[in-house]
């Protein structure tokens, strides 16, 4: 697996009876850092930023996940980033914060299938069962920092920096086959 | 049926015969057999040679503690493994096995000459013998020791198997699926409690597999076991066999090694050979059972001399009689039952010899009713037989007097020195042990982990006791989890309870100094060696262990530790706890490197980060070099070019027209917030307050100690937003250091850091035609000296892509760095490459980048600096803000050593003879001084330079900045090179070329 992530086929990269992995379409991603009364930012974003680590809140096509006491990641459509930056810039004086476009920094694997949760145990030391559906966690997979979103009991997304993606995919690929062979 | 197979006994499947080979000969066994049980069924006891004396050896045990029967296994091409325990390896059709440590053959081995010369090979032999003459070490001693060292032969072919790993979280992990483990699982498996039960054997059951006579709750043991395992599975208990708990690590993390394919004739697709599990359990129950101890007497290692409990296992689990005329030698009741079982299965037990004066009446009367002669208060003083025991010599003992010996002919000696609770994993937890004088053994005391011990591993004996204790411990861990465990009680009939005593080496009527009474079979350590070690001054068991190698073999002292301790404590005249017990360390049994490596081999061995432009470089013939986790294009040779020629061409092209370079790996950090400028002032040496938005500056980062840690060009994008760049290798380190200061020292600052290294692809264009090439693609700024001077930055559009454009130069030429969103990198690169053809654009790699920057005297952190270099040493005092109240490293820079005269300073070097210096070469002022010479510095960078017309070098030289024009000397193995100290700037000192 030497190809850069931008060259991955957007369809299923690997599919077995145990799980399948594909690359999600590009989207807008922003790192938001702030502290204090978040009301101005909530107003600017049109949602209430969650304050518990791992919690997610969405409104329209914008979703926010809390990653730390003063840290959120925002996901939206590619074209919506500029609008969010503009809206937040307007409340900067009132509530100083850092908003950084990281849309191009990462790729996302969509991991689904009956044994998707087990597939994650190949590289993630965290107890996957403690990531409830509808939440997410920043953790590690095969030694690299990743953000895991749990969208369903057997449906996950994994955000990872571009240059780590081929290495991580190689393990996901091996794992899909290994788990399928185990069930057979 | 083989000669020693007992029909109707054992758990092997006689409907499935299996053929395998041992040392080339074909043997038959059945599915369910191990190599050892199948060989024993064929009457083969001789399975290997010992390590030091090359004595013939057979299986002494039936499980993973086996020290003797180590074999090589071949499972097809490339799949050879040495030191496999024959007692564990299951057989399958086509398995090839071989004995070890023999030449030319197992039955006739020339190395056995060591055995005759055993008086030479006593404890500390190596330390004493190989000391002198000193000159013998390299040529004679070391080759000899190396040739003699090691068991088995290392595999030479690449392992074609794959290995895996997984993480597992559970509420309760139970190690050992014998009676106590099974009962603990049943009791703990309340609703909602996840229980994992692991066992190293091919099937669960532990002792129950060897004691089918017992009846549990009215059912025969094996029926009960089958229904209990089914019930546990039904309750959701995860039962894992062929899975060894190899180590107990901090905070209830336990390593398990699961063997998946070694027992299979056909390898299933996509299936790893072994899987390492990292289990995090809230509670752990250790139910590892106990291991039987050998008795220590002259000749206790002859093939056919084995543990009584193991003989019982071979009979009841595998249907194999280990001998037809065995003698039982014991100091524990358990061996009496082994005698009865074997006798009833058709063996004629020649005698039960017990060291004790009185034994439970029921045992003695049962022996009598079976017609087995009983000898109480007896010792054993010798065995005979070359490749298999043929007799044992026993003597009556009365007080301290050993009477005359009597020889009993036999074909096996079944010994029992009592049982040692298995404390290995408990010991890994740094748990404390308590000495139990009555049972002459250590028992588990307290542990810092959430862990309990159940059954025989805490000294309990008998199936009912183990079941009851297991159930109690299972409920205890459920309690600890805050749930009510299941109440269970067990009634066991035909349970074989019993007691015994413990011994040092057995008394003998012969000279104990000549006895080959083995304590550690694998390392050939005898009782005499241990006593010698004590006589020669070893006082702690740790010293005795290292002096004699007792307990240091692959079995890690499972059989030898307690016997060794008893003998050492006797020799020292101290109680065992005062002599101490050596610490057990992971892994519990030998574990393959593959299991530890897991998925990280071949292409997946290590992460290699690649840029978006990497594929283009590969397509265009780049040679790569690793930089941190990244691989970077090093140079781009054309056909027929070597590295020097390619670099010369790349340098020349860049200085004369334009070169293109992938700088995407540079670390990038976005510093944003109202206090961004204050943060930058505190972090970097430079002043930032007056840097206007749209301008950039070279920043220098120090550690607390005042030494250079990192550098990079930093752009102020807006009032509150900085685009910081770091070195490629330093990116993560710098971000961590910044976060550390921000979170611990300056939490009051309103500023935040975001890594943007991978947000951007960064393309550098350098050379007199760089602006001309780039201008047509840029919207939003004009690339003129006036509108966009050197050290400017701007957000603009390049080739239709959103970009951050920097005018910077690491070459001394007109230079730009274009940052575009990462996935667009290759498109921009190709666009510029195509348009650049009119200027003969040349792609260059990191080597050319290094040469071009060295010609300008720009440092590379980590090459020209080594963590002991200050900005002043580097002649970069200009980068240190003089009016700033503080910055990281400011106090460090004021330390007396850092302001002292005569520090090593950064200078240029030009050799007098025009030769190229070697990087790392040492420098002296006076080449005629005596050796060892006073070294005053070293060469940090050295390159051929087309531009300068001769090789150039950068160096750190004592007081170098005040020695301009002086000659220094670089002594090399073949000659001494003279070089003149110069400025570090070799090309365009006026920076005229930076101007558009």
pLDDT tens figures, B681-710: 999 999 999 999 999 999 999 999 999 999
* Beta strands in B149-194, from DSSP E residues, in sequence order: 163-175
pLDDT band for B155, please (50, 70, 90 cuts). confident
Look over chain B and give the mean of its residue pLDDT values, rounded to a whole number.
94
- Is residue A147 within 8 A of residue A65, CB to CB? The reply is yes
Among the partner-chain residues B670, B720, B758, the one whose CB lies closest to the CB of A100 is B670
Residue B654 lies in a domain: no
Residue B879 lies in a domain: no
Residue B625 lies in a domain: no
Identify whether residues B139 and B269 lie together within a single domain. Answer: no
Identify whether residues B409 and B432 lie together within a single domain. Answer: no
Among the partner-chain residues B270, B750, B823, the one whose CB lies closest to the CB of A178 is B270
Q: Using the beta-carbon criterion (under 8 Å), do B610 and A166 form an inter-chain contact?
A: yes
Q: Using the beta-carbon criterion (under 8 Å), do A144 and B822 form an inter-chain contact?
A: no
Tokens at A114, concatenated: 């009956």
Distance, CA of B224 to CA of B499 (rounded, Å): 26
B218 CA: distance to closest CA in chain A (Å)? 37
Question: Mind giving me the DSSP string for B763-815?
Answer: EEEESTTHHHHHGGGEES---STTTS-SSEEEEEEETTEEEEEEE--SSSSSE
More confident residue, B92 or B123: B92
Tokens at B201, concatenated: 């054997």
Identify whether residues B145 and B169 lie together within a single domain. Answer: no
In terms of CA atoms, which chain A residue is nearest residue B723?
Answer: A100
pLDDT at B830 over 70: yes
Q: Which helix (H) or strand (E) holds B443?
A: strand B441-444
* β-strand partners of A30: A74, A101
A150 CA: distance to closest CA in chain B (Å)? 18
What ipTM describes this predicted complex?
A: 0.95
Q: Mean of the pLDDT values across residues B724-738?
A: 97
Cβ contacts (< 8 Å) between B268 and chain A: which residues? 181, 184
pLDDT at B739 over 80: yes
Residues of chain A with CATH 3.30.1360.120: 8-26+105-183
Identify whether residues B824 and B689 lie together within a single domain. Answer: yes
pLDDT band for B107, please (50, 70, 90 cuts). confident
pLDDT band for A1, please (50, 70, 90 cuts). very low
Query: What is the largest distance, in Å, between two alpha-carbon atoms of chain A?
Result: 60
Tokens at B654, concatenated: 């860049």
Among the partner-chain residues A104, A125, A126, the one whose CB lies closest to the CB of B759 is A104
Domain boundary among B795, B815, B839: B839
Domain A8-26+105-183: what homologous superfamily? Probable tRNA modification gtpase trme; domain 1 (3.30.1360.120)
pLDDT band for B53, please (50, 70, 90 cuts). confident
Distance, CA of B908 to CA of B985 (rounded, Å): 7
Q: Mean of the pLDDT values across residues B706-732?
A: 97
Question: Residue-wise over B547-573: b if at least 16 C-beta within 10 A, else e?
Answer: bbbbbbbbbbbbbbbbbbbbbbbbbbe
pLDDT band for B129, please (50, 70, 90 cuts). low
pLDDT of B282-310, one tens digit each? Answer: 999 999 999 999 999 999 999 999 999 99
Q: Mean of the pLDDT values across residues B863-883?
A: 96
Q: Using the beta-carbon criterion (under 8 Å), do B615 and A7 form an inter-chain contact?
A: yes
Domain A28-101: what homologous superfamily? Heterotetrameric sarcosine oxidase (3.30.70.1520)
Of the candidates B76, B33, B21, B63, the one whose C-alpha atom is nearest the C-alpha of residue B273 is B76
**Confidence (pLDDT) at B822:** 97
User: What is the length of chain A?
Assistant: 184
pLDDT of B467-479, one tens digit each? Answer: 999 999 999 999 9
Query: Which of B238, B607, B717, B735 to probe by mutation at the A interface, max A CB count within 10 Å?
Result: B607
**Main-chain dihedrals φ then ψ at residue B557, nearest 5 degrees:** 75, 20
pLDDT at A8 over 60: no
Identify whether residues B784 and B822 lie together within a single domain. Answer: yes
Structural domain count, chain B: 6
Identify whether residues B716 and B805 lie together within a single domain. Answer: yes
**Confidence (pLDDT) at B101:** 76
Q: Is the dihedral angle over the CA atoms B863, B866, B871, B873 positive or is it negative?
A: negative
Distance, CA of B319 to CA of B754 (rounded, Å): 68
A121 touches chain B (CB under 8 A): yes
Cβ contacts (< 8 Å) between A181 and chain B: which residues? 268-271
Domain boundary among B493, B525, B543: B493
**Confidence (pLDDT) at A40:** 98
pLDDT of B246-294, one tens digit each? Answer: 999 999 999 999 999 999 999 999 999 999 999 999 999 999 999 999 9
pLDDT of B667-676, one tens digit each? Answer: 999 999 999 9
Among the partner-chain residues A129, A170, A181, the one whose CB lies closest to the CB of B270 is A181
Q: Using the beta-carbon criterion (under 8 Å), do A177 and B609 form an inter-chain contact?
A: no
Of the candidates B770, B924, B913, B784, the one whose C-alpha atom is nearest the C-alpha of residue B852 is B770
* Least confident stretch, B120-124, B513-517, B738-742: B120-124
Residue B396 lies in a domain: yes
**Confidence (pLDDT) at B113:** 66
A55 CA: distance to closest CA in chain B (Å)? 21
A180 CA: distance to closest CA in chain B (Å)? 8
**Confidence (pLDDT) at B816:** 98
pLDDT of B536-590, one tens digit each? Answer: 999 889 999 999 989 888 888 899 999 999 999 999 999 999 988 878 889 999 9
Cβ contacts (< 8 Å) between B609 and chain A: which residues? 163-164
**Confidence (pLDDT) at B229:** 98
Q: Which helix (H) or strand (E) holds A99?
A: strand A97-101
**Confidence (pLDDT) at A2:** 45
Cβ contacts (< 8 Å) between B269 and chain A: which residues? 181
Residue B865 lies in a domain: no
Q: Using the beta-carbon criterion (under 8 Å), do B756 and A2 form an inter-chain contact?
A: no
**Main-chain dihedrals φ then ψ at residue B367, nearest 5 degrees:** -60, -45
pLDDT at B143 over 70: no
Identify whether residues B429 and B457 lie together within a single domain. Answer: yes
Calculate the alpha carbon distances from A145 to A111, A148, B169, B612 in Å.
17, 10, 20, 20
Identify whether residues B148 and B229 lie together within a single domain. Answer: no
Domain hosting residue B259, numbered range: 163-290+421-493
Residues of chain A with CATH 3.30.70.1520: 28-101
Identify whether residues B472 and B488 lie together within a single domain. Answer: yes
**Confidence (pLDDT) at B119:** 62
pLDDT of B760-801, one tens digit each? Answer: 999 999 999 999 999 999 999 999 999 999 999 999 999 999
**Confidence (pLDDT) at B296:** 98
B527 CA: distance to closest CA in chain A (Å)? 47
pLDDT at B108 over 90: no
| CATH number of residue B403's parent domain | 3.50.50.60
pLDDT above 70 as % of chain A = 93
Look over chain A and give the mean of its residue pLDDT values, rounded to a whole number.
94
pLDDT of B903-931, one tens digit each? Answer: 999 999 999 999 999 999 999 999 999 99
Identify whether residues B150 and B195 lie together within a single domain. Answer: no
Cβ contacts (< 8 Å) between A129 and chain B: which residues? 169
């Amino acid at each position: 697996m030497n190809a850069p992530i931008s060259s991955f086929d957007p369809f299923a990269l690997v599919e077995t009876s145990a799980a399948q992995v594909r690359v999600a379409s590009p989207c807008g991603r922003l790192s938001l850092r702030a502290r204090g009364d978040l009301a101005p930012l909530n107003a600017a974003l049109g949602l209430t930023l969650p304050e518990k680590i791992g919690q997610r809140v969405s409104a329209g096509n914008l979703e926010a996940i809390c990653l730390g006491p003063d840290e959120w990641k925002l996901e939206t459509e590619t074209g919506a980033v500029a609008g969010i930056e503009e809206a937040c810039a307007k409340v900067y004086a009132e509530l100083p914060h850092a908003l950084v476009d990281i849309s191009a920094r990462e790729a996302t694997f969509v991991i689904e299938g009956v044994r998707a949760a087990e597939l994650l145990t190949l590289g993630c030391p965290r107890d996957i069962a403690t990531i409830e559906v509808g939440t997410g966690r920043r953790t590690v997979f095969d030694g690299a920092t990743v953000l895991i979103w749990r969208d369903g009991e057997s449906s996950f997304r994994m955000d990872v920096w571009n240059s780590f993606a081929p290495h991580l995919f190689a393990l996901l690929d091996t794992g899909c086959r290994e788990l399928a062979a185990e069930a057979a | 049926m083989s000669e020693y197979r007992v029909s109707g006994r054992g758990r092997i499947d006689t409907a499935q015969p299996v053929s395998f080979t041992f040392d080339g000969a074909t043997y038959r066994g059945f599915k369910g057999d191990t190599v050892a049980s199948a060989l024993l069924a064929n009457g083969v006891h001789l399975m290997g040679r010992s390590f030091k004396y090359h004595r013939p050896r057979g299986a002494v045990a039936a499980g993973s503690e086996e020290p003797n029967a180590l074999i090589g296994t071949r499972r097809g091409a490339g799949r050879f493994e040495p030191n496999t325990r024959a007692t564990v390896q299951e057989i399958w059709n086509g398995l090839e096995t071989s004995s070890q440590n023999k030449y030319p053959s197992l039955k006739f081995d020339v190395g056995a000459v060591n055995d005759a010369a055993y008086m030479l090979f006593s404890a500390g032999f190596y330390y004493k013998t190989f000391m002198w003459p000193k000159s013998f070490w390299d040529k004679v001693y070391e080759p000899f020791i190396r040739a003699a060292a090691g068991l088995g032969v290392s595999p030479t072919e690449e392992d074609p198997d794959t290995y895996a790993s997984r993480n597992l979280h559970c509420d309760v992990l139970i190690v050992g699926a014998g009676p106590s483990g099974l009962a603990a699982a049943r009791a703990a498996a309340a609703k909602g409690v996840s229980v994992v039960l692991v066992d190293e054997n091919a099937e669960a059951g532990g002792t129950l597999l060897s004691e089918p006579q017992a009846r549990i709750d009215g059912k025969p043991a094996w029926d009960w076991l089958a229904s209990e395992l089914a019930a546990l599975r039904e309750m959701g208990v995860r039962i894992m066999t062929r899975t060894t708990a190899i180590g107990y690590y901090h905070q209830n993390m336990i390593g398990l090694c699961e063997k998946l394919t070694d027992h299979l004739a056909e390898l299933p697709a996509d299936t790893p050979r072994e899987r390492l599990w990292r289990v995090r359990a809230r509670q752990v129950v250790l139910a590892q059972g106990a291991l039987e101890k050998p008795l220590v007497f002259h000749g206790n290692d002859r093939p056919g001399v084995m543990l009584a409990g193991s003989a019982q296992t071979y009979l009841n689990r595998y249907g194999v009689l280990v001998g037809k005329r065995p003698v039982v030698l014991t100091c524990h009741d358990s061996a009496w039952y082994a005698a009865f079982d074997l006798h009833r299965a058709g063996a004629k037990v020649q005698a039960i010899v017990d060291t004790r004066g009185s034994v439970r009446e029921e045992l003695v009367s049962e022996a009598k009713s079976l017609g087995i002669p009983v000898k109480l208060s007896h010792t054993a003083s010798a065995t005979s037989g070359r490749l298999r025991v043929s007799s044992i010599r026993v003597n009556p003992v009365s007080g301290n007097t050993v009477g005359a010996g009597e020889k009993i002919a036999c074909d096996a000696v079944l010994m029992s020195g009592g049982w040692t609770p298995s404390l290995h994993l408990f010991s890994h937890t740094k748990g404390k042990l308590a000495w139990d004088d009555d049972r002459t053994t250590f028992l588990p005391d307290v542990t810092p982990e959430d862990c309990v011990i159940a059954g025989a591993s805490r000294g309990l004996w008998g199936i009912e006791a183990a079941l009851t204790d297991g159930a109690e411990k299972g409920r205890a861990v459920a309690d600890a989890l805050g749930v009510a465990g299941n109440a269970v009680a067990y009634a066991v009939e035909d349970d074989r309870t019993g007691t015994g005593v413990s011994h040092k080496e057995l008394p003998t009527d012969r000279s104990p100094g000549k006895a080959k009474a083995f304590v550690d079979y694998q390392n050939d350590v005898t009782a005499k060696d241990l006593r010698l070690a004590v006589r020669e001054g070893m006082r702690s068991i740790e010293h005795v262990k290292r002096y004699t190698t007792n307990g240091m073999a692959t079995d890690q002292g499972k059989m030898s530790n307690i016997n060794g301790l008893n003998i050492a404590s006797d020799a020292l005249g101290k109680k065992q706890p005062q002599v101490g017990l050596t610490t057990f360390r992971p892994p519990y049994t030998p574990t393959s490197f593959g299991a530890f490596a897991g998925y990280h081999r071949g292409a997946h061995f290590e992460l290699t980060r690649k840029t978006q432009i990497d594929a283009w470089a590969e397509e265009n013939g780049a040679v790569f070099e690793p930089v941190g986790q990244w691989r970077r294009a090093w140079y781009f040779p054309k056909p027929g070019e070597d590295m020097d020629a390619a670099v010369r061409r790349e340098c020349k092209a860049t200085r004369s027209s334009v070169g293109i370079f992938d700088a995407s790996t540079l670390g990038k950090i976005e510093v944003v917030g109202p206090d961004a400028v204050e943060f930058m002032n505190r972090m970097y040496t430079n002043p930032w307050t007056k840097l206007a938005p749209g301008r950039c500056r070279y920043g220098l980062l120090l550690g607390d100690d005042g030494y250079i840690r990192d550098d990079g060009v930093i752009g102020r994008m807006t009032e509150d937003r900085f685009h910081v760049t770091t070195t490629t290798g330093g990116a993560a380190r710098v971000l961590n250091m910044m976060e550390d200061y921000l979170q611990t020292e300056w939490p009051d600052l309103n500023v935040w850091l975001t890594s943007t290294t991978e947000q951007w692809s960064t393309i550098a264009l350098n050379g007199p035609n760089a602006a001309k090439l780039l201008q047509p693609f840029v919207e939003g700024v004009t690339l003129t000296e006036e509108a966009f001077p050197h050290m400017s930055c701007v957000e603009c559009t390049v080739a239709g892509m959103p970009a951050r454009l920097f005018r910077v130069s690491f070459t001394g030429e007109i230079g730009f760095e274009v940052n575009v969103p990462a996935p667009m990198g290759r498109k921009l690169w190709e666009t510029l490459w195509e348009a650049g053809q009119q200027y003969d654009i040349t792609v260059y790699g990191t080597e050319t980048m290094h040469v071009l920057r060295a010609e300008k005297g720009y440092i590379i952190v980590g090459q020209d600096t080594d963590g002991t270099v200050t900005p002043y040493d580097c002649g970069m005092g200009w980068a240190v803000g003089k009016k700033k109240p503080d910055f990281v490293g400011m106090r460090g820079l004021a330390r007396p050593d850092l302001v002292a005269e005569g520090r090593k300073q950064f200078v240029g070097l030009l050799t007098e003879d025009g030769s190229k210096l070697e990087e790392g070469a040492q420098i002296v002022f006076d080449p005629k001084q005596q050796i060892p010479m006073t070294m005053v510095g070293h060469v940090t960078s050295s390159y051929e330079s087309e531009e300068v017309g001769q090789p150039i070098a950068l160096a750190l030289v004592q007081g170098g900045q005040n020695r301009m024009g002086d000659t220094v000397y670089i002594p090399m193995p073949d000659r001494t090179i003279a070089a003149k100290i110069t400025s570090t700037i070799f090309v365009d000192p006026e920076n005229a070329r930076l101007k558009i």
